[in-house]
Structure 1
Amino acid sequence: MKNVSEERKTAAVPATAPSPLPAHDEPRSTRNRVARSILDHGPSTAAELAGRLALTQAAVRRHLDTLLAEGLVEPRDQRVYGSRGRGRPAKAFALTDDGRDAFDQAYDSLAADALRWIAQQAGGGEKGEAAVSAFARARLAVQAAGYRKVIESAAPEQRTEALARALTADGYAAAARSAPVGEQLCQHHCPVAHVAERFPQLCEAETEVFSDLLGTHVQRLATIAHGDGVCTTFVPKGGAPPGGATGGPKGGPARPHRTTTRTTTASASTAGRNPA
């Protein structure tokens, strides 16, 4: 897998496919499958990886040892929901920044330079930040138009799952899971994570879009850009219809959902506080 880390420095690797490896190099190819499974599903135990890839746990552990030695994965304590059984919880393995870079197609330097130029042209300071925010919203508006059709065609209780499928199709490896008072939208991959680390407006605009699409306030609990393993967004139960709008005065236009502004504040203040 060492050559994968080196390849990322000279060539972009599609986020939707494993890094190219020689067909005859079976051990490296299998390690690449292990890394890709972690990318798609988030931090995973050896048992979970073995089940997904139809490998023995012993084989998976050998590949994990190699990935650990190369700095492409790291062990983490697995979260336990509900009562914990006897014994120590199994370790979950997450991709490191170098591991994610092996799959990234984002042209980080070019994107960061472009956003920096936009900020400078707007005058820097608060004006510059506002210009970057406007760009982020405009960029996501194009994606949101396609997502909206998918979400509006889904039943209310399946809209978060529909959004997760749409995000996955765009390379975010997303999934929806139930939570005590709502759902969690988890994105296991972010093609622009390194740029978002420098320009958090990208994460904030994305959170606003999720709120608008699902028609309810949402709260960003964690982001890959802030060093977390997964971008996690909490979606409460009982949201309004998609579009983030409620009816306006009789005979008047609809008005934005009142929680949109509160969502943006929550995103900025809580991002990265709840590692996944």
Structure 2
Amino acid sequence: MKFDDDQSTRQRVARSILVEGPSTAAALAARLDLTPAAVRRHLDVLLEEGAVEAREPRRSSHQGRGRPAKVFALTERGRGNFDQQYDDLAVQALRFLADTAGEAGVRDFAQRRAEFIRRGFVQVQERDPSLSPAEVLAQVFTDEGYVAAVRTVPIMGGPVVGEQLCQQHCPVSHVAHEFPQLCEAETAAIGELLGTHVQRLATIAHGDGVCTTCIPNPQTPSKPSKPTKKEQVTT
């Protein structure tokens, strides 16, 4: 019985890292209402299983004296414990498509798959008009298993210049590692929906801890362009 309880708690620890991103043992303890000692015990097992890895925190995130606490992030194996059991079949199917229909066939498939973004965007926006476009996208991706959230991107001493769509999990990351057309089609669909250029800064498929898409703020003022000679004459 205790084994089942421990297994369940470890799953809670792993899922908390999945949803919230790389976390310290103290943060996990507070989030899950566990003692730090209990969390460390479960982290030790997850480390031994290769489901998580310990990382040094970013310098910007450490404040105060003393040695900064390590953060724990899910590994590829840890992510695979969730909902990637059909990856091998999907990869084989896409390899067959690439062999029979070529690059164009794979891109057509990726674009058709990305329709969930366009379809979901309309549905979520109608359901909750108070959400910003980026927040709508986060909900759309979360509904598809990506565990997405939005954060603003400020510049030092200046106004907010944009937002980042952050996906803590990617249900197709193993497939997208070999077929990046899936990521490219998603990015293109986001840009078309928002009517602006968006850029993928990081992807889980290529070893990053989170998929990050930069979305410019349409309200950010741009530098006025110089009038052409024709405009100068007419004015």
TM-score normalised over the length of structure 1: 0.71
Asked whether 1:190 is paired with 2:165, we answer: no
The alignment status of 1:70 with 2:49, answered yes or no, reads yes
Output the CA distance in 1 between the equivalents of 2:174 and 2:109. Answer: 17
Q: 1:120 aligns with which of 99, 112, 121?
A: 99
Does residue 42 (structure 1) correspond to residue 21 (structure 2)? The answer is yes
Cα contact 2:164–2:214 (8 A) shared by 1? yes
Of 39, 53, 57, the match for 2:32: 53
Residues 96-123 of structure 1 show CA distances to partners (whole Å, capped at 9, x for unaligned) of 111111112451121111111111112x
Q: Does 1:204 align with 2:187?
A: no
Tell me, yes or no, if structure 1 residue 139 matches structure 2 residue 113: yes
CA distance in 2, matches of 1:169, 1:60: 29
Q: Which amino acid aligns with 2:198?
A: V
Q: Counterparts of 1:80 and 1:151 in 2: how far apart (Å)? A: 38
- What is the CA–CA distance in structure 2 between the aligned matches of 1:170 and 1:178, rounded to whole Å? 22
Higher Cα radius of gyration:
2
Q: Percent identity?
A: 61
Cα-Cα RMSD:
2.2
Distance 1:58 1:176, change over 3 A: same
Matched residues, number: 213
Distance 1:146 1:40, change over 3 A: same
Q: Is the 8 A contact 2:117 2:189 kept in 1?
A: no
Q: Does 1:154 align with 2:99?
A: no
**Equivalent position SS for 1:132:** helix
User: Deviations 1:187-207 (Å, cap 9, x if unpaired)?
Assistant: 111111111000000010111
Per-residue deviation, 1:30: 0.6
Cα distance in structure 2, aligned partners of 1:91 and 1:111:
35
**Hey, what's the Cα distance between the residues in 1 that align with 2:43 and 2:120?**
38
* Contact 2:166–2:212 (8 Å) recurs in 1: yes
Distance in 2 (CA, whole Å) between partners of 1:227 and 1:83 is 24
Whether 1:171 aligns to 2:145 is yes
User: Which residue number in structure 1 is paired with residue 75 of structure 2?
Assistant: 96
CA contact (8 A) 1:176 1:183 kept: yes
1:166–1:142: structure 2 CA closer, same or farther, 3 Å change rule?
closer
Maintained 8 Å contact 1:151/1:213: no
Aligned structure 1 segments of 4 or more residues deviating by more than 6 angstroms: none
Counterpart CA distance in 1 for 2:143 and 2:2 is 26
Q: Is the 8 A contact 1:106 1:191 kept in 2?
A: no
The C-alpha deviation readout for 1:150-184, integer Å capped at 9, x for no partner, is 2465347x221221122112111111111112111
Distance 1:193 1:142 in 2: 17
Counterparts of 1:139 and 1:93 in 2: how far apart (Å)? 32
After superposition, the C-alpha distances for 1:36-78 in whole angstroms (9 at most, x for unaligned) are 1111121111122112211122211111111111111001222
Counterpart CA distance in 2 for 1:190 and 1:232 is 11
User: Mind listing any 5+ residue stretches in structure 1 that lack a counterpart?
Assistant: 1-21, 123-127, 241-276
Pick one of 217, 221, 224 that aligns with 1:237. 217
Q: After TM superposition, list the pairs within 5 Å mapping 1:8-47 onto structure 2.
A: 25-47=4-26
The CA deviation at 1:23 is 8.4
- More displaced 10-residue stretch of structure 1: 22-31 or 60-69: 22-31
Distance in 1 of aligned mates of 2:22 and 2:31: 13
Q: Name whichever structure is richer in helix by fraction.
A: 2
TM-score of the superposition, structure 2-length normalised? Answer: 0.82
Query: SS of 1:191's equivalent?
Result: coil
Cα deviation, residue 83, structure 1: 8.0
